[in-house]
Homo-oligomer: A and B are copies of this chain.
Amino acid sequence: MVKVTNRKLQAQATYEKIYNTAMSLVEKKGFNNITVKEICEKAGVAVGSFYNYFNSKDDILYEIFNKADNFFLHTVANRIEGENAKEKIINFFIHYAEYCKRDKFDQLKQIYNTSNPMFIKKGRYMQEVLKKVVEEGIERGEICTDMSPDEVVRFLFIALRGVIFDWCLHDGGYDLTQFAKDYTERLLKCF
């Protein structure tokens, strides 16, 4: 039972002001082309206030990841079509690729960072969505493996992160969607 005080409301408002300003600026100019100072000026707060609500500038990046995760839970989950589990898995990763493509490029590069805690803390929704498909596939005998559903999901995500990583390395120099599709198809031959 937490009492709602004016002070807390004000704090929440400040947080949102910073968050929204940051998201809007990132959208407009890209993460690397804005400064914390700029965010705070536009939001009408002091630089120090930013750090009352975020640990670092990178936290803003991680929030973007968070949004993606929610998008998968609420939107993609209901849109995965396919005759069987394997087709559905392929379609899942096509969605995944499409989502990555629409990010500004420098942003994706920053997000695909080994220090991004969101891959561990969040990103669970995406994996939950895929897990359901895998579980169904195993039940129906469309996927043959000695791995548990969790292990299969992990196996696939690791490889597909490698795909995104490679695409970033090549500065988006090829069609990610097509490549992700082909790659997933090949992977699924293991099962």
Residues of A with Cβ closer than 8 Å to B?
Answer: 108-109, 112-116, 119-120, 155, 158-163, 165-166, 168-170, 183, 186-187, 189-190
Contact = CB atoms under 8 A, between A and B. Distances in A.
Contacts of A112: 114
| A interface secondary structure, majority | helix
Given A114-B109, A189-B190, A183 B169 contact: no
Contacts of A161: 162, 165-166
B163 A158 contact: yes
Contacts of A109: 114-115
A151 to B, nearest CB: 10
Contacts of A190: 186-187, 189-190
A158 B158 CA distance: 10
A166 B158 CA distance: 7
Given A109-B115, A155-B183, 9 more contacts: A108-B114, A112-B114, A113-B114, A116-B169, A120-B169, A155-B186, A158-B183, A160-B162, A187-B187
6 contacts: A109-B114, A120-B170, A159-B162, A160-B162, A161-B165, A165-B165
B162 A165 contact: yes
